[in-house]
Every structure is written in structure tokens, then in C-alpha cells.
Structure 1
Amino acid sequence: MRGTGRRPRSRGQRGEDGDMQPSEQLIEAPTTDGPTTATAPGGAARRLETAAERWDRIPAIATGEDYLASIRDRGTTLYLFGERLDEPADHPIIQPSINALKATYDLAIDEPELATAHSSLIDAPVNRFLHVVESPDDLIAKHQMQRRLGQLTGTCFQRCTGLDTISVLHSVTYDVDRDHGTGYHRRYLEFLKQAQRKNVLIAAGMTDPKGDRSKPPHQQADPDLFLHVSGRNEQGIFLRGAKAHMTGGWNQHWICVLPTMNLREQDRDYAVVALLPGDAEGLTYVYGRQASDTRAMEPGTIDKGNACFGGQEVLVHFDDVFVPWEHVLLDGETEVAQKLVSRFTAYHRASYVCKTGLGDVMTGAAAEIADQNGVAAAAHVRDKLVEMVHLNETIYSSSIASAARATKLDSGIWMNDEMLANVCKHNVTRFPYEIARLAQDLAGGIVVTMPSEADFRSEAVGPLLERMLAGRADVSTEDRMRILRLIENLTLGRNAVGYLTESLHGAGSPQGQRIQILRGAQLEEKRGLARALAGILPPEQGDAASVGAP
């Protein structure tokens, strides 16, 4: 039997107060076969697929090669440079991001003690990216895995948002069911069991385009600037709007959409959590550009810097996309949005420990170019490398500390310490920029003025560049060019997206962390500590002491 859900209503149904509102009455979703197609609110025909039908077309995945096969031939609509791609998996700009996700499968095979965990849901080992954290040790292992993948790929490997979505929904669906008598948590558990058995990827769609930032969703001139429920029927809901900056959005098998901010009562249609396959009808992907991205289309590998791995962000448009009730995990409960976002950030801001893996690569590249230049023993060079390590390990320590100080929630899952998670992410908004500056300092101006690989390979000027771009006599010029291009890639090129700008704005821009840090700062308690040591009596005691004084 399918779980309970809110009673379907048309887009125009209104309550007694004249405002749009979902019914509070719960119904059993239909158990008999209903229509297989319907006209969506916008007029398009949509297949009303069941949850089982959607799972049936997604294969079980064991290896990285299985993953590569699983995302081909899906018939998706993706645009890059104004053209729809027949097979996005074949495009050279997209392939590096696919390779980064493949690495998450490969690591589970190569280092299972790090990248897998035993699932109590299905009583079997699962990829750690699909695991429900059952202890602080699970969170610590997660952060160690994230750093390791950063080391191996030198980029954003695009799975942290999905893992942190799994984590936050465990507790939030449990709490909503307890408070409202809904059936969301059971739906969540059933979906996660299938996800673990099939070993799939889940992307998170949280950030909305937002439009006029001074107005809430229901006051926007264009209602589609925030993703919302555009209609409901006996089989499920329809989603309309968009999600921006979706990390690895096209590369993954499922998308989970969530609210991006605190919502008001009038925003009920925007309070939705739903799961849908990446090839669902009505989805359109528009690929995000990255600095120097067209180098991926050039011959050779030197100028690419990191020829194998890269990140991906896409704008995803939802044109009345159908979701069966079995995959709806929130529908109209606006009061939950703030809790959901706050808990998500506690997980996700600590997940930015992945940048320490990229920081390890950056530090290694800086040390390598210093050695190739013959200055590795210079005191000022060593001091700069020490500073890079110090900054990187400071990020790592705050993430690990947030895991060690985790709290167990009512659903049984553990959550990172919120204060320390926000401190971790706030460090990430700053320290990678300084690490990158130091790497460029050690690399020298050649990091942005070096001729191309085509010139290096040419008969006309190649021999000249072989001599003029040389470092130490026992180091090949090509190796020197390769390490310089890697530094360029991480500080200015494609992977600067993941190492720098994503570090600044991902999981919320710096002010978001400062707000959370202030909320947990306990300033009044700390004032009391200072007053006590300074010999300043509390106000009530000071008044009593003054009574009877001469």
C-alpha cells in the first residue's frame, strides 16, 4: 500500500479565507492503476509514472564503468553553447565531470574501509555517499573520504550535496511525521533502500533563481523564480520553476529538490521536497560555463592543467515535471523549511572539508614548481609552504571537530556540531584564496604568460621553448609546463570554480555563516564570565550591596 499524502487539489482551489491552501486532511494514495498520462497544468502531456516504473529503468551499479554506461542514452534535454546535445556524455567539456563522479565508485572498490559502510537498512555494505550516519565516527570517516577524493581528483566530485540531503531528510521527515501524522519518513526509507541497492547518484536542487531578493516566493513577479507545486492529482504532483547552480545535476540518476530558505504561510506551494529521475519529462538542463572550459575541446593535455577531472554546475528548468506521491517527502509544511535549511547547512558546511584535498594538491604543486625551479631549500619558500599547510589543516581540524562533537537527533541520525560546521565553512571562504595566492607567488608570472602546447609541439618554435622555458637541468620542460598549468587550472581555470568561487558561495555565502555563528555565540554567557573575573557583581547583587552603604 502506498503511503499517505495530502489530498490532491487543483491549482485554483482556495480555502475559506480565500487563500491558496492544501487540505490538512490525509488520504491514502490510490492502490489501483490510474491513468497513464495526464494534461499538466501548463497544457503539456505528461506520463504518470509510478515509483516502481522509474526505478525499473535505472540499472544496479557496481563499478565506475557501470556508472559510465548508466548515464548514456537517457534522452535528456541539455543545452551547451546554444545547442542541444544528442549525447552529453560524449562531449569533451562534460566528460571530466563524469570522470570525477566515476572516481567515487572506484574509491569504494580501491579503499572500501574508507568509502563504504554497512547499512542497517539493507544489511549490506553500501557506498558511503548513500549511508545514513549512525555515529560521530561515521561523520569522521565521511570527512576523511571527502578529503581523499579531493586529493585524487583535484576538483568538485559532485556527491556531497546528495549525501547531505540524505542526511537531513532522515531527521526532518521523521519530525514532520511525528508532528503532523504524515507518511514522509516511510517513503524516505523506502527510497533510500532502493538507492542503496542500486548504488545510484543523487543530486540536490536547493538554490532557486530567487529573482527580487527583497520579496518572498509568493510575491515574485514571476512565480517560477522559485520551484513550486503547479498542480496535484490522485497520482502525484507537478513541479514548475528552476533550480540554479545544481552541482553535477545532469550527471546523476536522481534529483532531490528542497526549499532554499525560510518560508511564510503564503508560500505553501513552495514548501516541497520531491525526488525525480534525471531523465524525467519536462526537465531542461542548461550547462554552466567555466573559465577556460573550451580548452577541453583542444588537442593535447598540457594546457588543460587537469585533463581528467572537472566539476559541473547546471541550471535546471522544471516544466510541470510529474512526481508520484511515493516520492513526495514534503508538501505544504512551510514551518519545516527553516529547520531543513539549518540542518542541511550543518552537514554541508562541514562537507567543505573536501577543499582540503584540493589544498593538498595545491600545496604539492607549489612545492613541485619550487623544486623544479631549484629554490626548494630557500627559507622564504619553505615558510610559504608551511603557511599553506597550516591554513589547510585549520580547515580540516574544524570539520573533524564538528563531527566529533556531533549530536544525535530524534530520528536516530547524528548531525555535525552547528557552530563548528559554520566555522569550518567560514574558514573555507577565506583560506583557499590565500593558499592559491601563495601557489601563484611560488609559481611566478609564467603561470599566466606561458605559451600554448601547440607552440611547444610546433617545429618552428618548439625547440626554442624547450630551451627558454626550462628550469633545473634534470627536469624536463614539459613537466614544468604541466605543473604550471595545474596551478593555473586550480587558481584561474576550470577547477578554480570548485576551489575558489564554490568555496566562497557554496552552502551559503559568508554572511550566512556569520549569522549562524552569532546565533550560537552565547555572548551573554561569555559576558558573565568576563564580569565575574573582573569582579563586577551581577546587577541584582550590586543593588543589594549598595543598600546601607555609608
Structure 2
Amino acid sequence: AISKQEDPDMYLRVVERRPDGIVVRGAKAHQTGICNSHEVLVMPTMAMKPDEKDYAVSFSVPTNTDGIIMILGRQSCDTRKSEEGADIDVGNYNFGGVEALVIFDDVFVPNDRIFLNGETEFAGMLVERFAGYHRQSYGGCKTGVGDVLIGATALAADYNGTSKVSHIKDKLIEMTHLNETLYACGIACSAEGHKTESGNYIVDLLLANVCKQNVTRFPYEIVRLAEDIAGGLMVTMPAEKDFRDPITGPYLEKYLKGVASVTTENRMRILRLIENLALGTAAVGYRTESMHGAGSPQAQRIMIARQSNIAHKKALAKVIARIKE
């Protein structure tokens, strides 16, 4: 139980209640994009028992509030990307999102910033509904990343001179099939949503969790096919500074060239982009975030079990089989 843990701060909790607000202590791990955010929104991570009211807390405060500390996470190949003048090695030049461990060192939260304060009976519902929205969104955001990765992979095939090979074409078709299936799940759970009493719309939670469950699987195959088509040079390519060097540069220009009509630099650029998308961080990359973002696979399976309504499905089968009990 949360309340029985050795270190009570391992889940964010209320340590003091005042007439004008609360004081909280704890941390939130691997928060994507938090350093670029004006506000931090805190929620519980699971259902709570009545004796865990200090952990049943939700609020929003500015990220520059006293007591909030952010410690940046490391990224794949981040030292190479941070070199002065880096361009090609950055991979995705237009986006540089990072994650951070966000620490709340006795942070004061005013009453008008508190959404949940000890009401343990609502913690589970809040988590389930938030997770539903987040898992719905993966049908869109991961599909967008997939579109770019498919396009980059198709360009790599062009630059490698293999785009007309039948098995390359078939692998690109398979990548598209998997990617559009993810998109279809995102559309489905949105279209099947319903209006709540407050006037807000809630997604179909079963389909949202099915969407995210697929996201924990399909991107791995999409990335595998991208790496297959791109070739090993994607991860063995020398650094950009070697390409710019007056001595080593001409050798790389000569020996790393693909088709004659494409510059070596452009071939290097597309391979670095594929590397960035396939192996990069959660904010930029694909695989690890697809697995753990918005909850790891078992979290969706728990929700699928709750939402699957097996009793109704049994009743349908009994009607068709003319079973009377």
C-alpha cells in the first residue's frame, strides 16, 4: 500500500494543510516537455484507499513556483547533438524536446489551484479518464511520427538505390498498414465517445486502451522495417565534424555516397533523421515512449479487462446458441 511504503515521499503527497492551501512533497518522473511548459499539472497515479487521502491530490501551479526543481534526463547521443555547430547530427533540427524529473520540495499550492484534496473515492476515476484521453491521443501523435518515419525510410530507399526492389515496396506498405491501423483506433475511440453531465466529452475508454495497446506493439515493427530498409550505416555513420573535416571529409563524400544523383550530405541527413526517430528520446523518438508513455502495456490490459463487458458477450452467445438458464 502507498501509505505503508518505507519512504512516504515516493508518491507525491500533502504534508501540510493550511486555510489558504496545501503544501506538497514528492516527485513526478520523466515529464516530457515540462521545461517548455508554463504550468505543471499533477494527478494521482492509481486508485487510493481511504487511509491514503494525503496522496489523493491533484493541482496545477506555474513551473517557476518556489520549491519546484527540474533535473533533465539524458538522451540518446545527446553529447554529439550538443556539439557546437551541429546540424546533421541533430537528426530532427526542428524539435528538441527533453524530459525531466520534477521534484516538489515542500511546494505551496493555493486553494484555487487544487482539483482533488483527499477525496480518495475519485482518485481512480480521475486516473482512468485522464489515461483514456492520453491513450486516445497516441492514435494521432504516434501516427504523425510514423508518417515522418515512413517518408524518411522511403527517401532512404531512394538514396540507397533500392526503392524499386519488390520487398522494399512491400515493407513500406506494411509500415503504412500498421501506422494507419493506429490512426483508425484513435479515430474510433474519439467518434465513439459520449457527452458527460458537465458537457465535456469522454472518449470510449475500451477503444482508447486498445489504441494504446496497439501503440506498444506496432511502432516496434515499423521501426524494425525502417532500420531494415535504411541499412546499418544509420548507426555506424561517422560524426558530422568528420564530414566537415578537410582531411576526412572528402573520403566520406566519396565512400558514403549512394545513388549518383543524391549528395552524400543529403543521404547522411535522412539517415540521422531515421536514427533520431527510431532511437531517440521519448519526446522525439518512438519505441520506448510507445511502450511506456500513457502507461505501460499491463495498465491498458487492466483497463481492457474492466471495460470489455464479458458478461454481455456471454449473454449474446447464449441467445444465439438458444441456451436458457
Report the Cα distance in structure 1 between the residues aligned to 2:239 and 2:151, rounded to whole angstroms: 23
Query: Superposed, which structure 2 residues align to 1:421-500 within 5 Å?
Result: 421-494=208-281, 498-500=285-287
Counterparts of residues 272-421 of structure 1 (less than 5 Å): 272-298=57-83, 299-352=85-138, 353-421=140-208
Deviations 1:302-349 (A, max 9, x none): 112112312221111111111111111211100000110111111110
Q: Distance in 2 between matches of 1:537 and 1:243?
A: 52
Structure-2 separation of matches of 1:366 and 1:496: 20
Residues 240 and 320, structure 1, Cα contact 8 Å, conserved in 2: yes
Distance, in Å, in 2 between the alignment partners of 1:404 and 1:308 is 32
TM-score normalized by structure 2? 0.95
| Pair 1:413–1:436, CA change in 2 (3 A) | same
Q: Could you list the per-position Cα deviations for residues 107-142 of structure 1 after superposition, in whole angstroms to 9, with x for gaps in the alignment?
A: xxxxxxxxxxxxxxxxxxxxxxxxxxxxxxxxxxxx
Q: Within 5 Å, which residues of 2 pair with 1:69-80?
A: none
CA–CA distance in 1 between the matches of 2:199 and 2:67? 36
Q: How does 1:105-116 map to 2 (within 5 A)?
A: none
How far residue 531 of structure 1 moved from its aligned partner, in angstroms, is 4.3
Alignment of 1:119-268 (within 5 A): 216-268=1-53
Distance 2:98 2:75 in 1: 9
When Rg is computed on C-alpha atoms for both structures, the one with the higher figure is: 1
| Corresponding residue SS for 1:270 | coil
Residue type at the aligned position of 1:264: K
Task: Give the distance between the partners of 1:459 and 1:286, measured in 2 at CA.
Answer: 39
Deviation of 1:377 after TM superposition, in Å, equals: 1.5
Q: Distance in 2 between matches of 1:344 and 1:388?
A: 29
Would the alpha carbon gap of residues 495 and 458 (structure 1) be closer, same or farther in structure 2, given more than 3 Å must change? farther
2:230–2:271 Cα contact (<8 Å) kept: yes
Structure 2 CA distance for aligned equivalents of residues 481 and 343 of structure 1:
43
SS of match in other structure, 1:280: coil
Residues of 2 paired with 1:397 and 1:504: CA distance? 19
State the alpha-carbon separation in 2 of the partners of residues 496 and 477 from structure 1: 28
Is contact 2:61-2:109 (8 Å) kept?
A: yes
Q: CA RMSD in A?
A: 1.5
Partner SS for 2:145: helix
Q: Which has the higher contact order (CA 8 A, sep 6+)?
A: 2
User: 1:427-458 CA distances to partner (integer Å, 9 max, x unpaired)?
Assistant: 11011111111000001111111111111111
SS at match of 1:463: helix
Confirm or deny: 8 A CA contact 1:255 1:275 kept in the other structure. yes
Q: 2 CA distance for matches of 1:526 and 1:268?
A: 37
Query: Structure 2: which amino acid aligns with 1:402?
Result: C
What's the CA shift string for 1:398-420, capped at 9, x where partnerless?
10111111111111100111111
CA contact (8 A) 2:20 2:111 kept: yes
Q: 2: distance between equivalents of 1:330 and 1:532?
A: 45
DSSP 3-state at the match of 1:366? helix
Q: Structure 1 496/331 Cα, relative in aligned 2: closer, same or farther at 3 Å?
A: closer
In 1, Cα distance between the equivalents of 2:276 and 2:181?
Answer: 24
CA distance in 2, matches of 1:337, 1:294: 41
CA deviation vs aligned residue, 1:28-69 (integer Å, no higher than 9, x gap)? xxxxxxxxxxxxxxxxxxxxxxxxxxxxxxxxxxxxxxxxxx
**Number of corresponding residues:** 323
Spell out the pairing of 1:521-532 with structure 2 (5 A cutoff). Answer: 521-532=308-319
Q: Percent identity?
A: 55
Mapped to 1, the partners of 2:50 and 2:204 lie a distance apart of 29
Change (3 A) 1:366 1:498: closer
Conserved? CA contact 1:284–1:316, under 8 Å: yes
Question: In the alignment, is the contact (CA less than 8 A) between 2:65 and 2:107 conserved in 1?
Answer: yes
Alpha-carbon distance, 1:242 to partner:
1.1
Give 3-state SS (helix, strand or coil) of 2:23's partner. strand
Given residue 517 of structure 1, which amino acid in structure 2 is its aligned partner? I
Answer yes or no: is the 8 Å Cα contact 1:489–1:495 preserved in 2.
Answer: no
Please, which moves more after superposition, 291-300 or 356-365?
Answer: 291-300
Residue identity opposite 1:424 in structure 2? C
Q: Which runs of 5+ in 2 are unaligned?
A: none
Tell whether the 8 Å contact from 2:242 to 2:248 is kept in structure 1 after alignment: yes
Q: Distance in 1 between matches of 2:16 and 2:312?
A: 49
Shift of 1:520: 2.0
1:166-206 per-position Cα deviation (integer Å, ceiling 9, x unaligned): xxxxxxxxxxxxxxxxxxxxxxxxxxxxxxxxxxxxxxxxx
CA distance in 1, matches of 2:2, 2:75: 29
SS of the aligned residue for 1:240 comes to strand
Secondary structure of 2:25's aligned partner: strand
- In the TM superposition, residue 536 of structure 1 has moved relative to its aligned partner by 5.2
What is the CA–CA distance in structure 1 between the aligned matches of 2:265 and 2:80, rounded to whole Å? 18
Q: 1:495 to 1:482 in 2, by over 3 A?
A: farther
For residues 513 and 495 of structure 1, the distance between their equivalents in structure 2, rounded to whole angstroms, comes to: 19
Q: 1 or 2, which has the higher helix percentage?
A: 2
Work out the CA distance in 2 between the residues paired with 1:367 and 1:496. 23
Q: TM-score, normalised by structure 1?
A: 0.57
Paired letter, 1:348: H
Residue 289 of structure 1 deviates from its aligned partner by 1.0
Query: C-alpha distance in 2, partners of 1:315/1:450?
Result: 32
Q: CA deviation at 1:374?
A: 1.6
* Paired AA for residue 307 in structure 1: Y
Shift of 1:496: 7.9
- Alpha-carbon distance in 2 for matches of 1:477, 1:382: 23
